[in-house]
Structure 1
Amino acid sequence: MENQNTLNKIKSNNYVEVINLDVNGDMRRRFLDLGIIKGTRIKILYRSPLGDPRAYLIRGAVIAIRDEEAEHIYVQSINKEMN
């Protein structure tokens, strides 16, 4: 893996791929409902004015996720843009 980290630590305008979800219960169900599974590509868009939550482009939809939730999503950086 090129660069494994949690989603909340990645800077804006970068692309990542999900490699693991380290969470159970309702939060895991929410991630799955949003299509956040292993292999999902995500573009980090921007932070809200107060810094949290952040906006992400996931499967063609802009989704806001709080940092405390994003720290459970393990990702690796990818160099190519999403199709």
Structure 2
Amino acid sequence: MPTDSSALFAISVAAELAELPIQNLRVYERRGLLAPARTPGGTRLYSQADIVLLRRIAALLTQGLNLAGIRRVLELEREVDRLRARLGG
């Protein structure tokens, strides 16, 4: 059974699932907001976790943040998750 981090989706499917243009996914990758898996031939493969992240990015954009701000928010959210895990809750 695939996990949330299993890379399953081609870029066209990921864009459709996230309701974003394909070009946006490429931009977000170039800006370091996400890092999809790659096949040996270089094809991007997205996981369910990547789709969730893409939706989070879209939500932050609608709130008025730019990509640099979104990167910082995502970094802080990951840090909060790490600290919660360390504290056991």
Shorter chain as normaliser: what TM range?
Answer: under 0.3
Q: Which has the higher strand share?
A: 1
Structure with bigger RCO (C-alpha 8 Å, 6+ apart): 1
Q: TM-score normalized by structure 1?
A: 0.21
Q: Which has the higher helix share?
A: 2
* TM-score between both structures, scaled by the size of structure 2: 0.20
